[in-house]
Amino acid sequence: MNVVSTKVTPTLQGGDLLSLLDYDANQIRHILDVAANLKAKQKQGKPMKLLEGKTLGMIFSKPSTRTRISFQTSMYQLGGNAIFLKEDDMQLSRGESVADTAKVLSGYLDGIMIRTYSQKMIEELAEHATIPVINGLTDMYHPCQALADLLTIEEQKGKLAGNKIAYIGDGNNVTHSLLIAAATMGMDVAIATPPGCEPDAAVLHQVKKITAKSGTGITVCHDPDVAVQDADVIYTDVWASMGEEDKDINIFSRFQVNRGLMQKAKPDAIFMHCLPAHRELEVTADVIDSKQSVVFQQAENRLHAQKAVLVLLLGDQPQELLYS
């Protein structure tokens, strides 16, 4: 990866990560470069205790495997501490305001990561907190997942700009953040969803502004075969997100990623899924277990991308230390 010069490196310290719409290409590039360096150091057995004495509060309204473990492990590997806070066990569930909670936690912690439903709630939390707030997932966005996705694609393809991603399935929070991240970093995106399951119109409007500047393309259609043509990456997610268990998944029958669909993309196309996967629904076992699948590398990269976010938002190290 190309390391950003420390002379022009953007400063993210003390900021929030609520949506990648708030980040430009140089800032995302910086996060990816730091993530790659932290990953390399870990593989070499060289600890990077960059957050010693720092504590991250982790608020969860939704169940989690990857988000909780990856953030908790991130803080441990960086020399800091993480506290698990289930929203049902907090005073939030008993009527304490978001604003009051933000102010109280700001006196105890160095940062907050929250995995919840409402994007409005996390924005209110950030407005009243005096410490960084990180979006671990909302119904609207999943920015940490998108950063891990970019890191994985670059590791596999050697670059980001010029690649095409085909997203097949439901236009959900993962889709939104993937769209924003890919467009910002110079990638083309084609999305195929059933009618009525398209990405949020306001998000698409913002992404089209990005593509107008970056020169990339975005296509939204209802035909998976069209979307995957010339694709370097095929990506899917569950058809019914948490809180949507009553959704009629029969409308997605044409949107399964199977061997036949993979063969309509480029021969060296990779398959991605943010997990957990429902095998034989949105993806067949012969695809997710194939050599083209990078889902477990993608899952591991949540750890490395989030370590970079934590270091850059919560840390106070000289920039050159992040690349040493």
Is 274 a known active-site residue?
A: yes
> How close are the terminal C-alpha atoms of the chain, in Å?
15
Give 58's strand partners. 84, 113
Residue 319 confidence (pLDDT): 72
pTM: 0.95
Residue 293 confidence (pLDDT): 98
Which stretches of the chain score pLDDT less than 70? Answer: 1-9
Is 27 a known active-site residue?
A: no
Is 304 a known active-site residue?
A: no
Rounded to whole angstroms, the Cα distance separating 235 from 311 reads: 28
Residue 3 confidence (pLDDT): 39
3-state secondary structure (DSSP) of residue 144:
helix
User: What's the burial of 306, exposed, middle or buried (CB within 10 Å: 0-12/13-18/19+)?
Assistant: buried
Residue 146 confidence (pLDDT): 98
Active-site residue (options: 16, 33, 139, 237): 237
Regarding the domain delimited by 144-299, which CATH topology (the fold level of the hierarchy) does it fall under?
Answer: Rossmann fold (3.40.50)
Name which of 164, 192, 146 is nearest 268 in CA terms.
164
Fold agreement between 20-141+302-316 and 144-299: yes
CATH number of 20-141+302-316: 3.40.50.1370
Residue type, 229: Q
Active-site residue (options: 30, 66, 115, 304): 115
Residue 240 confidence (pLDDT): 87
Is 145 a known active-site residue?
A: yes
Active-site residue (options: 16, 27, 77, 145): 145
Residue 9 confidence (pLDDT): 65
Name which of 293, 286, 65, 254 is nearest 169 in CA terms.
254
Active-site residue (options: 142, 176, 273, 304): 142
Active-site residue (options: 30, 302, 304, 306): 302
Active-site residue (options: 274, 298, 304, 306): 274
The residue extents of the domains of the chain are: 20-141+302-316, 144-299
Residue 301 confidence (pLDDT): 98
Residue 8 confidence (pLDDT): 52
Name which of 311, 320, 317, 319 is nearest 111 in CA terms.
311
| 137 φ, ψ (degrees, to nearest 5) | 155, 135
Is 256 a known active-site residue?
A: no
Is 142 a known active-site residue?
A: yes
Residue 139 confidence (pLDDT): 96
